[in-house]
Amino acid sequence: MENVTLHVEGMSCGHCVKSIEGSVGELTGVQNVAVDLENGKVSVQFDSASVSLNKIKETIDDQGYDVKE
């Protein structure tokens, strides 16, 4: 398992949290998703053999948020 914390801009409310946790959490290989709304961070635990980090970033981006490096 890999753990990564992404800086995500554009999150402002509980709906944002549910949107990201729901969409990323549905990806095959994602074990856990935790959104830190106050600090603009999303922590993801995932199996890199099943899902790529780029796919996770793309999924967050598709929800309307900006993933920063």
Helix runs in 26-69, H state only:
53-62
pLDDT per position as a tens digit, 28-57? 999 999 999 999 999 999 999 999 999 999
Tokens of 59: 């999924």
Can you say whether residue 2 is alpha, beta or left, with left for phi > 0 and alpha for psi between -120 and 50 degrees?
A: beta
Element (H, E) at 39: none
- Give φ, ψ of 64 to 5 degrees: 100, 15
What is the rounded average pLDDT for all residues in the chain? 95
Can you give the pLDDT at residue 6? 97
